Structure 1
Amino acid sequence: MINRADARRFLAPILAISLVLSLLGPVPAAQAQSRRLSLIRDAEIEATVRSYADPLFRAAGLDPSGIRVLLVNEDSINAFVAGGMRLFINTGLLMRADTPNQVKGVIAHETGHIAGAHLSRIQDELKNATIEQIIGMVLGGAAAVASGNGGAMVAGVTLGNEIAKRNLLKYSRTQEAAADQAGMGFLDATKQSSRGMLEFFEKLEGQEFLLGQNQDPYLLTHPLTTDRIDSVQQHVDQSTYSESKDPPADIARHERMVAKLKGYIWPLSRVEQEFPQSDKSIGARYARAIALFRVSRMPEALQLMDSLLADVPNDPFFQEQKAQILFENGKLAEALPLYTAAFNQLPTEPLLGLELAQVEIEMEQPEYTKSAIHHLEAVTTIEPRNARAWYFLSVAYGRDGNLPMSALAQAEQAMAQGNSEEAWAQAKRALEGMEAGSPGWLKANDIISEAQLIKENK
């Protein structure tokens, strides 16, 4: 969740944390204007993508809890692995996927890159990079490939000349074929069809002969060949699971995910054209409710959300969305029980905990402040690099009169944002009011040591 002013301008609650980049380096002609990209956070969309990804990660022998899946607010088709165990997926890919199986095919392929440790040296060097730096490097790399200008690689980031000179995420054809084979194996292991992978490649096949700046970035970093497509086709022809269909629950979640993204990203006129009032499906009403909310037509948005909750009572994500509409219109007391109900159903969902805590803080009542601290401590345990959660925790600690812990939370926030100097200063301030040997005292010293190490390495 973001503040109310930002929410009206951007994609609340999708932009739960906003990590916006401006590309400062040269970009292709089609991107001549300065571009701004962001990660998006949404509990429902992340849960949907994780439901596709986690079985594939486990089939690859990977621990799903050790892999972050991040959504990039970008209309082009792309997905990539960077910075260790981090999988990035563009919203454009999700919205253009016709079926869950197509998204699963992409994730299976990218899982093949992770399991195969492709570009492992670069990944090792990027493990400690901020998300902003990684996206900047990836975009700069795509610009360099498209324009032939290696200078575009620096694209507003400072990871050092050695990395900047490389063609980040430029996989070889051999690695691509290996990732295909591994991905198809993971799909078979989970008794799913590889047909979606084939359909995804067929979507991109027609772009092979376009100029670089007109191609989707996926082709710039994942060279597509006829041999690869033929190999996947052969597997589809032979696999026992090729005729396996997506479960109805997956199809329903996919339709909701796509509708939600379109509701937040597209203008209202386009949403109403694709989802006219005559369309009473869940996805259509969901998209219209969100698009109406974005243009401050609250009564109509709430009426649609009430109709959805009448059809699917106690759906936590519908409860969350209705709560968001109320919250962004200043109706905190009405939003709080809805957030609470959603969180009680999904108590390990960090974004729901964060949204609930923000409302509790803004209620400005002592009992809610203590509850917010409890929820935010749980969120930061699950997502220790969630800068926004640390920010709200610092506010809650401050209101509760615990200034040393407030300073420690600010140190954690600074560290999550890559500001090691601020983290060092706040951790030093926190130490002044803490008992030696206490958990907070130990953590503050850990931050000081980490910040000093970063400074020395610079």
Structure 2
Amino acid sequence: MSSSKQILTALMGAAFMLCIALAGEARAQGIAIVSDAETETMLREYSDPVLRAAGIDPQAVKIHLVNDRNLNAFVAAGQQMFFHTGLITTVETPGELIGVIAHETGHMSGGHLVKRREEFEGMAMPVMASMILGVGAIAAGAGDAGMALIMGSQHLAQRSLLAFTREQEASADQAGATFLQRAGLSGQGMLDLFASMRDQELLSASRQDPYARSHPMSGERLASLESRVKESPYFDKPDPPERVHQFKMVQAKLFGFLDEPNVVFRRFPASDTSDYAHYARSVAYHRTGQLDRALTELAPVLKNQPNNPYVWEVQGQIYFESGQVEDAITSYGKAVELKPTDEQLHLGYGRALAARGDEASTRKAIEHLITASKSGNQPYAYFQLSIAYGQLNDIGMAELATAQYYDTLGRVKEAKAHAVRAQRELRQGSPEWLRAQDIAMQPMPERRG
């Protein structure tokens, strides 16, 4: 290899090492976040007792659903938890999902993100120093010695990082087991899932699940976890029937929306008359444009679960996306009546009301869309608000809602531009004008690199 090529290779290796420290931040960008009220409600109900047991305020933790088939979950800065749809559809019991939640709570409680960054930063300087010496040696003609320095520094850094990660994973296991016991929950599910991860290590890399590879489960680590989990007086406590039912309903819905319809029909054949099968097939028929068959499948579920707001929500979505606005309004209205605290149900109801087009319905829609946007976790609520205000020719409020929409998405430049336009239309000094001013005056984020 020529000296110039060796130097280029070395610099590429150095750039790789520098990127490691930023990987956690990059991971939270560009992922496919999706919203589903039923799934997020379940995740919140499973997470809250564990978070409280860890001394973490559940209201301070944001839960995100990621449209990804991989079995994975992770935490990110700002007390955020991310759950892949593949995790929810792959685990076999609520206890297994709660076990993952407990493990990720262990990372959050232990401040592992901060510690990992500190570890990366601590090793960055000596690694870079070795690489610079190696590049210098290559430039001076000692190519073999220079490459040895570079490769050696990378190898040591990799081993150090892997050891540090294994230590954090084991720590999160033990903390998670403690939180489950404090919350009066069994750790059986955690043990079952992590035992299957241990079995994954016996497979070839091409057949392993990504979660198993990123969370190495040695026999020693599993034995330590097993000993801790079985000490709990709640180890033999089963999942309550209502929790199992909720879990299976969520899985059925996700299968219906995410799998190809023919796959759904094979998974839930017509001979399966359970509510879960009807639920999944209803969604699959809706996705293929078969309104009558979708409603026919959903009818027995509504009959058996008349007080389940999320089944009414699905019926509202089916009607709305099929152009049946009046029926959608009725179904969404029932969902909101059954669970008036759920922002996403208000979002669906408001969107349907706005689609009716008359002034009275639009004003009622705005009331529900404002409710849907109260937490600031529903960007689409602001988007719908901008449309509704536009229908009333209230340009100032439409611009403010658009600014809030972009602000929630983190698109500061667009948010500021719409906020400035909103200020021109709103009464100076009004609460709405002040909200626009706050957005317009926020600093632009610093550019990295």
Instruction: Work out whether 1:73 is the aligned partner of 2:67.
Output: yes
Equivalent position SS for 1:454: coil
Between the two proteins, the alignment pairs up a number of residues equal to 381
- Looking at structure 1, the residues matched to 161 and 423 of structure 2 have their Cα atoms a distance apart, in angstroms, of 41
- Looking at structure 1, the residues matched to 380 and 206 of structure 2 have their Cα atoms a distance apart, in angstroms, of 35
- The alpha carbon displacement at 1:253 in A equals 0.5
- Looking at structure 2, the residues matched to 285 and 421 of structure 1 have their Cα atoms a distance apart, in angstroms, of 46
- The alpha carbon displacement at 1:298 in A equals 1.3
The share of aligned pairs that are identical, in percent, is 37
Verify the 8 A CA contact 2:49 2:183 in the aligned structure 1: yes
Amino acid at match of 1:284: A
Amino acid at match of 2:95: N
Q: Which has the higher helix share?
A: 2
Deviations 1:196-244 (A, max 9, x none): 1111112211222555554322234322222221012112332211100
Match of 2:380 in 1: 388
Match of 1:358 in 2: 351
Verify the 8 A CA contact 1:170 1:222 in the aligned structure 2: no
TM-score by length of 2: 0.80
Deviations 1:86-145 (A, max 9, x none): 111111111111110000000001001111111226789xxxxxxxxxxxxxxxxxxxxx
In structure 2, stretches of 5+ residues that fail to align are 1-18, 20-29, 119-157
Verify the 8 A CA contact 1:82 1:123 in the aligned structure 2: no
TM-score by length of 1: 0.78
1:432 is aligned, of 424, 442, 445, to 424
2:437 is aligned, of 436, 439, 445, to 445
Verify the 8 A CA contact 1:77 1:90 in the aligned structure 2: yes
Amino acid at match of 1:60: A
Instruction: Work out whether 1:401 is the aligned partner of 2:393.
Output: yes
- Looking at structure 2, the residues matched to 456 and 185 of structure 1 have their Cα atoms a distance apart, in angstroms, of 41
In structure 1, stretches of 5+ residues that fail to align are 1-24, 26-35, 125-164
Amino acid at match of 2:434: L
Match of 1:204 in 2: 197
Equivalent position SS for 2:360: helix
Instruction: Work out whether 1:181 is the aligned partner of 2:178.
Output: no
Verify the 8 A CA contact 1:289 1:300 in the aligned structure 2: yes
Any residues of structure 2 matched to 1:16-35 within 5 Å, and which? Answer: none
Large movers: runs of 4+ above 4 Å: 121-124, 167-171, 209-214, 455-458
Verify the 8 A CA contact 1:80 1:169 in the aligned structure 2: no
Q: Cα distance 1:358–1:89, how it changes in 2: closer, same or farther (>3 A)?
A: same
Amino acid at match of 2:399: A
Deviations 1:418-457 (A, max 9, x none): 322221111111111222221111111111121x343689
2:413 is aligned, of 401, 415, 421, to 421
Match of 1:193 in 2: 186
Equivalent position SS for 1:348: coil
Match of 1:106 in 2: 100
Any residues of structure 2 matched to 1:277-296 within 5 Å, and which? Answer: 277-296=270-289
Verify the 8 A CA contact 2:275 2:300 in the aligned structure 1: no
Q: Cα distance 1:203–1:377, how it changes in 2: closer, same or farther (>3 A)?
A: same
Amino acid at match of 1:395: I
Verify the 8 A CA contact 2:201 2:213 in the aligned structure 1: no
- Looking at structure 2, the residues matched to 113 and 107 of structure 1 have their Cα atoms a distance apart, in angstroms, of 10
RCO (CA 8 Å, sep 6+): is it higher in 1 or 2? 1
Equivalent position SS for 2:65: strand
- Looking at structure 1, the residues matched to 162 and 350 of structure 2 have their Cα atoms a distance apart, in angstroms, of 38
Amino acid at match of 1:287: A
